[in-house]
Structure 1
Amino acid sequence: MRYFLTTTVIGAAFIALLLPSISLAQTHLIKNLAAGKKQTLVVYGTSLSAAEGGQAWVKAVSDAINNKYQQNLTVYNAARSAMWSTWGVQHLEDSVISKKPDAVLMEFSMNDAFLDYKTSVALARLNLNYMIDRIKLFNPKCEVILQVMNIPINVHAQQRPHLLQYYNMYRQVAKQRGLLLIDHYNNWKKILNRGTAEYLKYVPDGIHPDENGAREIVAPLVLKKLTGK
């Protein structure tokens, strides 16, 4: 009994020591900035990153990081409205690789799931893995970070009946490849659970968070995941 209690206490102490390092884990991007190194981040994806709301969260993240790290972060928003991962593959060289990024923040699931684009989950996975592989070929140390975004409603949900399969694919790829995943889904689900009227306060057209929604819901989680705080 004495041995059991001793090992239990030691084990608990060891876990306690680990927890701070886990909760405060930083991306290499932030570690390099903290070391005084200039860094380049490319944001790549759909209108969720390119439209007004997308521009708002990207700017909020950029400003917060640069305010802390002496303006050493250069951010390129290479996302494009109404585009999907096949476009992402086709424009990866000019939109991403040419910027010589140290990190790439990527999301294409929302439009890969759009029925009119006829992009299966398998094809979306193939495209995603190709982009990751190409970025890593350019720079093995480049940090690829995936995002799972918000929830479409009304007609936008009808046009994307299998969106969760695409979101789950991003989660699987992130886990399989050891990539950081920034998963916004649960935060948006909590708001949607309060009713459609409440959700529309943040996502007025049913798919694109507005500037306030993007700054209040998207930007804080991106910053938390990047900085570990």
Structure 2
Amino acid sequence: MKNHKIILLACCLFITISVAAQSRFVKDLRKGHDRTLVVYGTSITRLGNGPLWVEQIGEVLNAEYKGHLTVFNRGGSGRNSQWGANNFADSVLSVKPDALIIEFSVNDAVTRFDISPEQSMKNTDYMIRKVREQNPKAEVILLVVSTHPLGKCAEDRPNLQSYIEGYHTLADKYRLQIIDFTPIWNEIIEKKGEKGFRNFLHDGVHSTKRGALEMIAPNVIEALKTGK
């Protein structure tokens, strides 16, 4: 693992878990079982600095659990949940994941894609059901990284909160873990203002290198390992 200064604010991270606190697939890794994780989402996952936090999840968990985790980054820049549902078999089911992180709410909210909050939930519901049809024990984690878009990114997403709320509704329905960065960004904005916030998400959506390695990766890892 590369030596990065980590700002861990997991105590402030809003995590809803209706099952045992620790991720099931992390428990299996601890027992020495080989497991596959797919991260499926937008440019937050795939473009620019996005792959850095996905890679760090693999590095950290494999260092701790003796290389038993395989991670696939199946995100797509500019993609949304409709694309995610349409390509789910090839992108996700083909590698038979034991755990799946879904991250599409931020692009579902982009007005030009014409995806309503209801359709966003329907598409995400489809992906949850399909992966569980393949593997009833598959773990699904809903991830919300971008909650405070800035400038043009905000103009493109005037109703983002409704899409985030849809993820929380699905988490309740299926008893899923949801990792929502809203409290972390709220705290940073309150203490350091927009300028400080941009050190982590330069446009309120896409991460800087610092944001990927010091904020997103360690907090997601902590959430998976402890549920806190």
TM-score clears 0.5? yes
The Cα of 1:158 is off from its aligned counterpart by 0.9
Say if 2:153 and 2:203, in contact at 8 Å, map to a contact too: no
Give the counterpart of 2:184 among 152, 172, 187. 187
How do 1:57-206 residues align onto structure 2 when only pairs under 5 Å count? 57-150=53-146, 151-193=148-190, 194-206=192-204
Higher Cα radius of gyration:
1
The Cα of 1:72 is off from its aligned counterpart by 0.6
AA paired with 1:106? I
Moved more, 107-116 or 182-191: 182-191
Gaps of 5+ in 1: 1-21
Gaps of 5+ in 2: 1-17
Identity in percent: 38
**In structure 2, distance between residues paired with 1:133 and 1:227:** 24
Question: TM-score of the superposition, structure 1-length normalised?
Answer: 0.87
Say if 2:23 and 2:225, in contact at 8 Å, map to a contact too: yes
The Cα of 1:192 is off from its aligned counterpart by 2.4
Structure having the higher helix fraction is 1
Question: TM-score of the superposition, structure 2-length normalised?
Answer: 0.87
1:220 alignment partner in structure 2: 218
Report how many aligned residue pairs link the two structures: 207
AA paired with 2:149? P
Residue deviations 1:175-199 (CA, integer Å, cap 9, x gap): 1210011111211122223322111
The Cα of 1:52 is off from its aligned counterpart by 2.5
The Cα of 1:146 is off from its aligned counterpart by 0.5
Instruction: Write out the 4+ residue segments of structure 1 that deviate beyond 3 Å after TM superposition.
Output: none
AA paired with 1:33? L
Residue deviations 1:16-45 (CA, integer Å, cap 9, x gap): xxxxxx9x9311111111111000000000
**In structure 1, distance between residues paired with 2:88 and 2:217:** 24
**In structure 1, distance between residues paired with 2:201 and 2:144:** 16
Structure 2 counterpart SS, 1:52: coil
**In structure 2, distance between residues paired with 1:197 and 1:222:** 24
Give the counterpart of 2:23 among 22, 27, 35. 27
Structure 1 counterpart SS, 2:224: helix
Structure 2 counterpart SS, 1:195: helix
